[in-house]
Amino acid sequence: MESKFTNDQVFDALKQQFGDAILSLENTTDNYLTVFVQPNEAHEMIQWLYNHAEFKVQFLTNITGIHYPDNEEGKELVLVYHLHSLQNNFRLRLKCYLSIDNPVIATITDIFSAANWLERETYDLFGIIFENHPNLKRILNEDSMDYHPMRKEYHLEDQTRQDKDNRFFGR
């Protein structure tokens, strides 16, 4: 079924409500609404979309992180929220730039309890710290791991192994 709202309607409503917290619009191949927002405003924005009478964006599809090492200062990590309004069949993405030295953002587990593990996984793999998250610990890797593996500078393979000779594996 077709979604009831177009991207511009929702974008204008967001722009009108949050003004300069909305940084820029990005069009993607699957033309879902993708908006760059200020990290400290993200929590209110999601709360506002959740309680919005018409939009009713009340389903959190996904939280994930992306690492762009060669972005300029303070924009190396990007946190992506995928939100979805089931009643109106409308999907949107909120993206926030975070600096790599203190990637801190407010947790949204108070709005969506689904965010609990998603945030723990993003913390585990990217090192993004979610303030007042009930139990921010590593979820997929061992607790004794000291680095965040999904960042681009880390190798895929386990560096402590000796039996694979790099020459034969094109490394």
Partner 1 sequence: MSEDLTKIDNTNVPANMESHDTIEGEIATLNLGPTHPATHGIFQNVLKVDGEKVLSSEQTVGYIHRAFEKLAERRPFHQITPITDRLNYCSSPINNIGWHMTVEKLAGIEVPKRVQYMRVIIMELARIADHLICNSVIGVDTGALTGFTWMFIERERIYDMYEEVCGARLTTNIGRIGGFERDFTTGFHEKIKDFLATFPARFEEFNSMFERNRIFMDRTIGVGGISAERALNYGFTGPNLRAAGVDYDVRVHAPYSSYEDFEFYVPVGTGGDTYDRFCVRQEEIRQSIRIIKQAYDNLPEGPYHADVPGFYLPKKEDVYNKMEALIYHFKIIMGETPVPAGEVYHSVEGGNGELGYYLISDGGRTPYRLQFRRPCFIYYQAYPEMITGQTLSDAVVTMSSMNVIAGELDA
Partner 2 sequence: MGKITAEGNFEAINYEGFQLTKLDTVIGVARSNSLWPLPFATSCCGIEYMASMAPNYDIARFGMERMSFSPRQADLLIVAGTISKKLAPVLKQVYEQMAEPKWVLCVGACASSGGIFDTYSVLQGIDRVIPVDVYVPGCPPRPEQIIDGIMNIQALVKHESLRRRYSPEYKELLDNYNIENDIDGK
Q: Which of residues 97-136 bind partner 1 (CB under 8 A)?
A: 112-114, 116-118, 121, 125
Nearest to 69 by CA among 147, 153, 156, 125: 153
Residue number, 70 or 163, with CB nearest to partner 2 = 163
Per-residue x/- mask for partner 1, residues 47 to 76, rule CB under 8 A?
Answer: -----------xxxxx-x-x----------
CA atoms within 13 A on the CB side of 94: 27
> Applying CB under 8 A, which of residues 2, 70, 163, 165 lies at the interface with partner 2?
163
Based on the number of CB atoms within 10 Å of its own CB, is 77 exposed (0-12), middle (13-18) or buried (19 or more)?
Answer: buried
Per CB under 8 A, 152 contacts partner 2? no
Q: How many residues does the chain have?
A: 171
As measured in angstroms, the least distance from the Cβ of 83 to partner 2 is 30
Q: How many residues bind partner 2 (CB under 8 A)?
A: 12
Interacting residues toward partner 1 by CB under 8 A: 1, 26, 28-30, 32, 34, 58-62, 64, 66, 80, 82, 86, 89, 91, 93, 112-114, 116-118, 121, 125, 138-141, 143, 149-150, 156
